[in-house]
Structure 1
Amino acid sequence: MTRVGLHDLATSHPGIFAPLLAGLGMPVTAVHDPVAARVDGFLRAHPGVVATASLAELAAVTDVVMLLGRDWDQRLTQVEELVALGVPVFVDKPMAGTAAELRRIADLADAGARIDGGSALRVAPEAVAVPPCARLEVTCDGHPLYYGVHAVALATAVLGPGLVASAGTPGDTAHAIRGVIEHASGAKISVSVTETQPAGGFRAVGPDGVIEPSADLFYAALLGDALPRLTSAAPARPGRSLVECELALLAMAWSAATGGAPVRLDDVPPGFRPWRP
């Protein structure tokens, strides 16, 4: 049995993930969250799970730790702590908020750290089944980074990894992001994300029609893809593929802020931080 620890219970993901993980034979056995009310609520809903006092203590009593929550400014520090402890780590989207932090996570993975995670839409079954194409439009509602990463990941489910550069439409990138991402295959991905409510509405349109992925499928697909890889000798994902969706959005925001010319993902300034948690 693989024991899973959850850090940060602030979003819907812990409650969604727990039964899916149990179905994989990887039950949640411990949690950590500085907010006592969130811990108490989770423990009431999931008898047998224990609370821990720190991230290090959570790592000591589990076999893999999942970093959840919305505070992407803390991701790198937490990843580095867990990697130093030798613990495999699942990082929820977005993996970090700057190019420097994202590149550091990619470097850790390429150096042998067991890191996986990201958006569930990168493995949405409805999108994975669609043949690659030359043009794709992806849209959703919500925060440009927190939800926008899902829209970009949906494109990679169709095309595979390989995002190269982004061009952004100048405007209010704090509340919306629009532009075009170039894929290594030559495909162009039109992206439109607007911070309206309710968030969600993930959609891709290509030559074969409309793709609207179902949460009933993509969360299970994500955990079934990432957790076995983290806890076995299966090949790890390349570091770049872990962080390219976030980098593509940062490149789009930098392009929008500097006139709209295409920006390669490798050229995003390290400390550029257009969005805070």
Structure 2
Amino acid sequence: MQTLRIGIVDLDTSHPNNWVPIIKELGHQVVAVFDGGTVHEEGYATQFAEKHEIQMVCDALEDMVPHVDAVIIHSVNWDLHVERARPFVNAGKAILIDKPMAGNMRDIQQLLEWERSGARITGGSSLSVCEEAKEWHRQHDPYDEIVTVLAGCSVDEFNYGIHAFYFLQAIMGAGIESVRSTGVHLQHQIELVWQDGRKGILSVGATQGYLPFYATIVTEHTVKHLQVDSSRLYRSFLEASLPYLSGDIEPFVSISQLLEVELAAMAAKKSLLLGGEEVALKHLSEEDQGYDGASFAVEYRMKVKGH
């Protein structure tokens, strides 16, 4: 396995602190950090670098480019992801974009265009490769057809709720065709329809207490409930992602399949705004509202700072 020189872009969330030690344990180097100041004050990147023994703190992304083989983008404002990625794509570097990768069609189309041009990009949610879904697939008889799956989590509809979308796809596979909001009762309930006719149900959004990631899978012969052990998620995700970033293996899932999940979340929002109309993913356009990363980042900073 090739040892990667990795740069960390934006330190907004808890993920960089948790991921850097795992990256090192997996045999890679974290050589540079950049923070745009969305959440943390000036000087935080230097403190982070000292804590994790990272030699380079960059004032500009362009300063990082020549020193890394790959970057991990952690911006809590997902509307920044494409521009954060651009200098690295242009330089032929590998890129992992933390979830949600994008909240609007313009950015999703740019990511898909980069994939078509051969850029090495992955990302999304660690639920896409969680051990519970993989174990279920190992034990599941492929001839025992899925009747339906109910999956969900709490906290919010997109930044955190996107995990549930990824978990559902990890179980059901690619091929989401359309989405329909069935309305809101405490949480937002959403029906997803696959191209082969299968349907899954999601329930996402804030609740009074924290709800873990879960799924109940109904097949023609069995009912199985999965509850995710969150302590294993980061390692599983990085073990799946880093060998692809280094060029050692094919992607665990293509970026186009991963982005299908984020398109489904956009379709769910559009359906809710339209009073529950079914929305086909292929009919989404740049005119659709999407999710506002800048507004979410302001709220996130206020929570982190205790305002």
**Normalization by structure 2: what TM-score?**
0.83
Count of aligned pairs: 275
Per-residue CA deviations over 1:192-239 (Å, capped at 9, x if unaligned) read 111246655211111332211112222111111111112115224434
Taking the TM superposition and a 5 Å limit, the aligned residue runs for 1:85-164 are 85-130=91-136, 131=140, 133-164=146-177
Q: Are the equivalent residues in 2 in contact too, given 1:121–1:153 (CA < 8 A)?
A: yes
2:48 aligns with: 42
Determine the structure 2 residue equivalent to 1:221.
236
Q: Which runs of 5+ in 1 are unaligned?
A: none
* Superposed displacement of residue 242, structure 1: 2.5
Q: Distance in 2 between matches of 1:41 and 1:211?
A: 39
Superposition CA RMSD, Å = 2.0
**2:258 paired with 1:242:** yes
1: CA distance, partners of 2:34 / 2:56: 9
Q: Partner of 1:231 in structure 2?
A: 246
Q: Quick one: which of 9, 12, 22 aligns to 2:14?
A: 12
Query: Which residue pairs with 2:75 in the alignment?
Result: 69
Partner of 2:190: 179
Residue of structure 1 aligned with 2:269, choices 243, 248, 253:
253
Query: Taking structure 1 as the reference length, what is the TM-score of the superposition?
Result: 0.92
Distance 2:88 2:274 in 1: 37
Q: Does the 8 Å CA contact 1:127/1:158 hold for their aligned counterparts?
A: yes
CA contact (8 A) 1:110 1:239 kept: no
Identity of aligned residues (%): 27
Compute the displacement of 1:79 (Å).
2.3
Uncovered stretches (5+) of structure 2, i.e. residues with no partner: 294-307
Residue in structure 1 matched with residue 201 of structure 2 by the alignment? 190
Task: Provide the secondary structure at the position in 2 that maps to 1:220.
Answer: helix
Larger radius of gyration: 2
What CA distance in whole angstroms lies between the structure 2 residues aligned with 1:20 and 1:184? 37
Give the counterpart letter for 1:141 in structure 2.
S
